Structure 1
Amino acid sequence: MKNIYEEFGRWISILYRQFQIFINNELKDLDITSGEYIYLIKLYENEELTQEDLAEIYYIDKAAIARSIRSLENKGYIKRIINQRDKRSYRIQVTEKALNIEHRIYKALKSWDDLISLDVDDEELKKVSHVLKGMSAKALNKVDEGDNICENK
């Protein structure tokens, strides 16, 4: 029998990959990828953010964020404005084009949520969310400490 932790990781991985495929298919005609929509979501929720803000929110390295932001800017979904407080950084805002597709992105996300949560009650969903959040926090803390998790076993 497989180790429960191997199975757990496997199912998380499957959910993640299938979600990426789903989002890529749903947003294909908008030319937005699964690696880009996350930034639009945070920018819809906030008037503007910096790349550093996005790095802190998503725990993604700045180079990856820069590539996605550049792509979204080239597609006309965001604009970068020089930050007057720090001329080395930019404030990022959504454009009218991005605002016009906001409903499509949220509709795609709701469709995914509805699909994977079918026959799962709200209490179970809250519990899963709580457990995953706690596990993510532990993983982030361990990585931030620079420890090799396997060495402690």
Structure 2
Amino acid sequence: MLNSFDILINGHQFKKLYEREYDWVMKKYNLKKIEIEILYFISQCGEHNTAKDIAQIQYISKAHISNSIEDLSHKKYISVIGDSTDRRYMHLNVTESASPVIEDIEKVREHLLDILFHNITEEESELMIRISKKIVDNISEELK
């Protein structure tokens, strides 16, 4: 029988919750899950705003990124700007018209965190975050 940790790292239960919570955003803005993830990433990434950065940090395939960038650009949610020193790189920035979308994404993310950390003390939450960071670092190191 699977224990709670097995269920957690498998991710299916979280995926189902994630899809349920984001469903209204996807419908409202005609976005795919991957487009929401990429748009949110671009809104938070600072200078790590290239397709290569998304692929390396988010572990999303280049094909998915390319298609999503094209769709998000057509919807006027992101702008694509060539790098001034290296023309191979294109920098991605959110546009003003993406602001309501990002606000709704942030509402969903906040609600998901409320669900995930319900009945969890601040100390438990801080410990979980520290342990999660170590696990992510371990996985990243192994995948190099």
| Structure 2 length-normalised TM | 0.81
Aligned to 2:79, what secondary structure does the other structure show?
strand
- TM-score, normalised via structure 1 length: 0.77
Q: SS at the partner of 2:88?
A: coil
1:30-62: CA deviation from partner (whole Å, max 9, x where unpaired):
223321222222322327711112222213232
> How big is the shift at 1:29?
0.4
Write the distance in 2 (CA, Å) between the matches of 1:67 and 1:94. Answer: 16
Q: Give the match for residue 11 of structure 1.
A: 8
**Aligned-residue CA RMSD in angstroms?**
2.2
Cα shift readout 1:10-35 (whole Å, capped 9, x = no counterpart): 23311133213322334420223321
Residue 134 of structure 1 deviates from its aligned partner by 1.4
**Structure 1 Cα separation of the partners of residues 114 and 23 of structure 2:** 17
Q: Which amino acid aligns with 2:101?
A: I
TM-superposed CA distance for 1:85, in Å, is 1.8
Number of equivalenced pairs: 141
CA distance in 2, matches of 1:63, 1:33: 14
> Identity across aligned pairs (percent)?
24
Superposed, which structure 2 residues align to 1:14-29 within 5 Å?
14-29=13-28
Partner in structure 2 of residue 32 of structure 1: 31
Q: 1:28 to 1:9 in 2, by over 3 A?
A: farther
Secondary structure at the counterpart of residue 49 of structure 1: coil
Corresponding residue for 1:98? 98
Work out which of the two has the higher radius of gyration on C-alpha atoms and give 1 or 2: 1
Local SS of the residue matching 1:36: helix
Partner of 1:125: 125
Structure 1 residue 98: deviation in Å? Answer: 0.5
Q: Is the Cα–Cα contact under 8 Å of residues 77 and 98 in structure 1 kept in the other structure?
A: yes
CA distance in 2, matches of 1:75, 1:139: 35
Unaligned ranges ≥5, structure 2: none
Cα deviation for residue 142 of structure 1 reads 1.6
Q: Give runs of aligned pairs for residues 44-123 of structure 1, distance below 5 A.
A: 44-45=43-44, 46=46, 49-123=49-123
Contact 2:34 2:64 in 1 (8 A): no
Contact 1:51 1:66 in 2 (8 A): yes
| Structure 1 stretches of at least 4 aligned residues deviating more than 6 Å after TM superposition | none
